[in-house]
Structure 1
């Protein structure tokens, strides 16, 4: 009887130990997500004053800064990054390449009406934004529209209004007097966004000649046939109904001297594949920040903070992975294109590769 009693006590003890162990495991497994979320919400950025070689930027005082939540832009951003140093390195490289005499023709341009047309103004918050197509510019325009007071939040802005420059409340720098232009270039916060040059060209090709979502018929009916007639090597089909192929597009872009007449004919429609140097004159205008499309999840809140507007507006949510560089896609588009044509294309865009620290696509050139 006594032996049976102790066996029962022992069994109860084992059951109790097992329950305690299971309970501990369950609590641990459910605590992980909340701990991760807590770390994400407590992530803080602070920026002391800094002067870059390009221009002076007044960052928010360290003592006055408030916790800055990144989850609205990207829940994956949890590691603290010294973006002040990153921006300084980007501007230092830009300045170094701009001084390289052998690259001068690829990096410098005249700050004329064409360039000033690309720069949008927010006088209320003293911001200038240079538009570089196919790098998420629509969203930055929405941010500026909200800041200018036309709409209260980015979600309320109709898509068809964003690019309607007669109605969206975004003045261009070119619309101002010479004195007003100089004053703003010398004192406003200035930024623009860049992207791997070849991937940007693929995006422009898809948008304008394959998808053409904004119902812009001139790309299909005017620009594509003109490029095909001049640059398609095989005319055994000899019909333009096949549509512009990426190979035709590459050959046109790599012809630095021969494409000038076509570009004049195309007018401002070519902005989607012009170099960053031609669009924003980064060697001739002192920008405060150069953002990268590949790190936009982190750069977007950084830019808002640096411009002093983080508490007024947020950058629209970025779908996960959409800004990541896709080498597989680049290789697929360039399959079958001759190395001669790829090298000519690279020569045309080498300035953009060097100015913004994009790796030479050796996997396409060798």
Structure 2
């Protein structure tokens, strides 16, 4: 009988020592901040939707997230947080100040459309699918019950589409909306956007806006065409690039008025370093970004983004190379110097294939 008690006592002692050892091991493996397992001993990575270890390490976070926070983040959440972090980082970089900062002028406020009913601000950046976003806001504002009901000639008629611009409000109301509303804009590879603007306004002109061909093009040709005796064929892309890359382009911009919105920089259009945007959509990933924006704005159950034709958002490098193959390296460099802020703020790679 005494042997039995001794055996039980020995078993309890062994169990007690094992518990103490287990607690000691757990404490030594925790990091000082208490965010998980100490690096080098064991790596624990929560399972994220379609996210690789490389992508997780690439994403910079000011304070380490908890495991529960990471589990609730999807791959697209991380992409959009990374875009905002990049934007803010470049905005803080003093060496890019001249390229990245623009005051919140009336020109900028004219570009921002308002939905007071749903507390949304949308900054228009032409040639990146903005017509469809305007349709979304028109429906949200109650002017039409569905996107399909909106006549095409109404979308850009600001007297009829029920879309107020932020510039129509008092400065006090402007500030209140900038501080409290959900704000977003869409961007696209800057050089591909310029090609789209050139083709849309000076080649095809599908909306029949004759002033681009008859009033703006001749002025650019007279000033920037190298062989001024050659006037056939309308505005050439090389002429357009020389105009955009000219450090003195603002003299013509003033003459052209608001028509320049189709080719000026995102910095000039939307002041991204001065306005704290909630989401930056990319034209190249619009299929994923559109539903994300609707969800973040809290309107995904009220309206849907129109169907996107297959392949229309894909970056076309061969098209960019073709158009710029006709442009001198000097003119390309001057153009890039002007749009460098757009490339850096929104994470687009500089066109190295254009520089041998």
Same fold (TM over 0.5): yes
Aligned-pair distance for 1:81? 5.0
CA distance in 2, matches of 1:365, 1:150: 49
TM-score (normalised: structure 1): 0.77
Distance 1:312 1:187 in 2: 21
Q: Which residue of 80, 86, 90 corresponds with 1:93?
A: 86
The answer for the alignment partner of 1:219 in structure 2 is 212
Displacement of 1:274 after TM fit?
A: 0.5
Of 233, 237, 240 in structure 2, the residue corresponding to residue 246 of structure 1 is 237
Contact 2:102 2:268 in 1 (8 A): yes
2:124 maps to 1:131: yes
Greater RCO between the two (CA within 8 Å, min separation 6)? 1
Query: Secondary structure, in 3 states, of the residue corresponding to 1:328?
Result: helix
For the pair 1:304 / 2:287, whether they are aligned, the reply is: no
Structure-2-length-normalised TM-score: 0.79
- Conserved? CA contact 2:99–2:340, under 8 Å: yes
Partners of 1:262 and 1:215 in 2: CA distance: 22
Instruction: Show the counterpart of 1:31.
Output: none
Name the structure 1 match of 2:66.
Answer: none
Question: What SS is found at the alignment partner of 2:312?
Answer: coil
Whether the 8 Å CA contact 2:109–2:166 is kept in 1: the answer is: yes
What SS class does the counterpart of residue 193 from structure 1 fall into? strand
| Native 8 Å contact 2:221 2:228 kept in 1 | no
Deviation at 1:235, TM superposition (A): 2.1
* 2: CA distance, partners of 1:81 / 1:235: 56
Q: Which moved more, 1:335-344 or 1:352-361?
A: 335-344
Matched with 2:69 is none
- Describe the superposition over 1:238-277 as per-residue Cα deviations: whole angstroms up to 9, x where unpaired: x3x4200000001110112x21111100000000000000
Give the one of 319, 342, 353 matched to 2:332: 342
- Hey, what does 1:25 align to over in structure 2? none
The 5 Å alignment of 1:1-366 reads 82-237=75-230, 239=231, 241-256=232-247, 258-366=248-356
CA distance in structure 2 between the partners assigned to 1:208 and 1:250 by the alignment: 14
Number of equivalences: 291
Tell me by how many angstroms 1:343 deviates.
Answer: 0.6
Q: Which runs of 5+ in 2 are unaligned?
A: 1-48, 50-59, 62-71
Which whole-Å CA distance do the structure 2 matches of 1:337 and 1:349 have between them? 16
Which residue of structure 2 lines up, in the alignment, with residue 40 of structure 1? none
Label 1:175 to 1:291 Cα distance change in 2 as closer, same or farther (>3 A): same
CA drift at 1:353? 0.2
Counterpart CA distance in 1 for 2:74 and 2:239 is 42
Q: Which runs of 5+ in 1 are unaligned?
A: 1-42, 44-51, 54-64, 66-79
Ranges of 4+ aligned residues in structure 1 off by more than 3 Å: none
CA distance in 1, matches of 2:78, 2:104: 28
